[in-house]
Chain A
Amino acid sequence: MTWQLLLSACVSGALYAVIALSLNLIYGTMRLLDVAHGEFVMVGAFAGYFLVTLLGVPPVLALLGAFALNGLAGLVLYQWLFAGIIRRARSTESLESTSLLVFFGLSVILQNGAALAFGGTPRAYERYARIVHVGGVAITGNRLVAMAACVLAVVAVLVFFARSTWGLAIRALIANRDAAAIVGIDTQAAFRLTCVLGFGLAGYAGAVIGLMQPVSPFMGGQYLMIGFVIIVLGGVGKLVGSVVGGVLIALLETVGTQLTGPNYRDILIYGTFIAVLLLRPQGIFGRHAA
């Protein structure tokens, strides 16, 4: 049974890691407080759903389709909206407060727009539904595919940021935006790429959720909360921290509640969150500001 719980934790943890990575990219790089992130996940979930059910796209390709559609939306939003907000901001604090309001508005528009366009009724499809046995542990095929897809995405993102020029440039921006600009990094281009990656990954995560669960216009809220908890745990701008934080939250959610009881889920998650804020406010992988 322990292995069953651990496998479930891996599925949730991989998904949470992708969501937290995408949120951390947007906040860590541009300091945009994206409280509409759950709605971008929802948009990706609907994109995946319609690609599979209307166009007959294989679900694995639909994940990439959702990434592309959301990434494109992120690029358009950057050009038309975020670039101006970032340019006009006098300080990080004012950027955060302005973006909070903008994303709050976007959240309402996206949620209600989706409800008007698609209706509030949940939608679901069934693919990869066979039971697969992994080392004696049974798991539904779609959950296994979801986990594999999330692990692949996490590895791809981490490799990109560790090896590629643009990845290193964005990490430099996360570490110190002014210094990065001084050494010649094209911040506008890096921000554009971050938006494509960040919002694209949110859409990818949404399509992954659609593989396993019903999708609806109101599904995003829970993932936003989890995303913020994880990036605070792992450290703002710390990509590896997002992955570790995602797995930690998933372990608390499955193994932790098995040891204590389902009613302790929120206490475990938010208790850990508060403890980290008190003991290590910069996050597990964060460093004190100089």
Chain B
Amino acid sequence: MSRRAALAGGAATAAGFAARRARAQAGAPLKIGYGLPRTGYLGVASPVAEQAYLLWGEQVNAAGGLAIAGGGRRHVQFVSYDDQSEPSKTAEIYEKLISDDAVDLLLAPYGTPFHIAIAPVIERNRFPVVAAATLSSLLRDMHMRHMWFPQPLPDAYGVILAAFLAAQGVKSASLLTLQLPASLETRKYLLPQLSSRGISVALDQDYPNSTADMTGMVSAVRQAHADAVICLSYPQDSVLYVGTARELGITTPVQLLLIGPGEPFFVKKFARADLEGILTIGEWTPDQARWPRARAFNDAYVARWKEPPDYLDSTVSYASCEILAQAVAQVGLDHDAITAAMDSMAFDTVKGPIKFRGVENISTQPGLLQFQSGALQIVWPPDIATARFRPKTGWSL
């Protein structure tokens, strides 16, 4: 064989290897990591978020993979771990996802303390994460650069809740606050707003997470005779409140529960007449015609998981995936480029359009939902409302 022929053969072989490597890289699945509490005290709450992630991944793969700027499409492969409801484990998991698993992208953990726990990890690694199921202004106030919040923050809910109460002519409110972060922060921002609108606080009682009976507290609510009851609760005590308020015949026309009514089990636990009129925070329903993808997401979620999505956690978790996907489609997988895109892009999500200023979503108006005829409707603010507020008229007999 001549030298020329040998060189030509070698070059052809090298070119073949390079092409195969490029094809392999292009065909390799995109690794997306996250940690969620599958066990421990939050194991009961997180499935609604993980189900949204899994649905999104399945839909992306069914569509041929995630579009990457300049790189075609790649299938999504999740790398996930159980953080056992321990924030310190979440930080370790995200460190491992970045360094050992070498994931391409990250999705958010579940719950405020867990977002706080991963903050140093993602800031140190300059790894962009779109937050999901968290309700805290703390992270915004920590001046993070690599985490963005699609969900309105507690200070925003404080403003609109007070505005709503004032619009209903409420002069006094009873507050019951669970001693967990989202509730305490909401109370912190709500109290000055109530004061500024001239709404007095007839009862202000907080209670521990171990509370198993609310008879005493709801009795105090009854004796306070306020125009509104604001129970800043989580799902388990939301159930306790409804059961006890029904027994004690709390007929206050405005009764709000912070978290719980949007969860699928809540509708199964109570008769329609008991749910009717209950308020909760949230600004999403599949009935909001201005967000055409909301209904499609709802139907796909119901078809996949045989239950409706949680109106807070499922939707924001799915929206966080959409935001990340749209950024990647625009700028590719470079983390600095994704970070820059978060500042400049506007995103189209199942929660409607989202645009960040700093790390805060400035497009989504925080809202209030109310059970009407068995379904949750947006009743505040008026410009995104899907129904008018109806005072709660009582309970089933």
Name A residues whose Cβ lies closer than 8 Å to a Cβ of B: 1, 4-5, 8-9, 12, 111-112, 115, 119-126, 129-131, 138-140, 143, 212-214, 216-219, 221-222, 253-255, 257-258, 261-263, 265-266
Contact = CB atoms under 8 A, between A and B. Distances in A.
B216 to A, nearest CB: 4
Nearest to A215: B265
B41 interface: yes
A120 B47 CA distance: 6
Contact size range, B = 35 or more
Contacts of B269: 124-126, 214
Given A213-B239, A214-B239, A262-B206, A121 B265 contact: yes
B270 A126 contact: yes
Interface stretch (B143-151, B246-254, B318-326): B246-254
B246 A216 contact: no
A139 B271 CA distance: 16
Contacts of B210: 222, 265-266
Given A121-B265, A138-B247, A218 B396 contact: no
B208 A263 contact: yes
A216 B263 CA distance: 14
Contact of B216 (A5, A121, A126, A129): A5
Interface in B153-169: none
A268 to B, nearest CB: 11
A81 to B, nearest CB: 23
Contacts of B48: 121
Most B Cβ at <10 Å: residue of A9, A115, A120: A120
A253 B264 CA distance: 29
Contacts of A124: 239, 265-266, 268-269
Contact of A218 (B44, B219, B271, B274): B44
Contacts of A222: 210, 212
B390 interface: no
Nearest to B247: A138
B215 A254 contact: yes
Contacts of A257: 213, 216
B207 interface: yes
Contacts of A221: 41
Contacts of A263: 179, 206-208
B235 A140 contact: no
B248 A138 contact: yes
B180 to A, nearest CB: 14
B397 interface: yes
B205 interface: yes
A262 B208 contact: yes
Given A124-B265, A213-B239, A115 B39 contact: yes
B44 A217 contact: yes
A4 B44 contact: no
Interface of B: 38-41, 43-48, 179, 205-208, 210-213, 215-217, 219, 235-236, 239, 243, 246-249, 263-266, 268-271, 274, 307, 395-397
A9 B48 CA distance: 34
Given A125-B268, A131-B247, A120 B41 contact: no
A287 B395 CA distance: 50
A9 B44 CA distance: 27
A111 B44 CA distance: 11
B271 A217 contact: no
Given A124-B266, A217-B43, 7 more contacts: A112-B39, A115-B39, A138-B248, A255-B216, A262-B205, A262-B211, A263-B179
Nearest to A250: B213
A97 B239 CA distance: 38
Contacts of A258: 215-216, 219
B265 A122 contact: yes
A5 B219 contact: yes
Contact of B265 (A123, A131, A261): A123
A258 B216 CA distance: 5
Given A121-B48, A124-B265, A129-B271, A218 B39 contact: yes
11 contacts: A5-B219, A124-B266, A138-B247, A217-B44, A218-B39, A258-B215, A258-B216, A262-B216, A262-B217, A263-B179, A263-B206
A124 B266 CA distance: 8
Given A4-B248, A122-B263, A115 B236 contact: no
Contacts of B47: 119-121
Given A115-B39, A122-B263, A214 B247 contact: no
A216 B179 CA distance: 22
Nearest to A11: B213
A123 B267 CA distance: 10
A5 B270 CA distance: 22
A139 B397 CA distance: 11
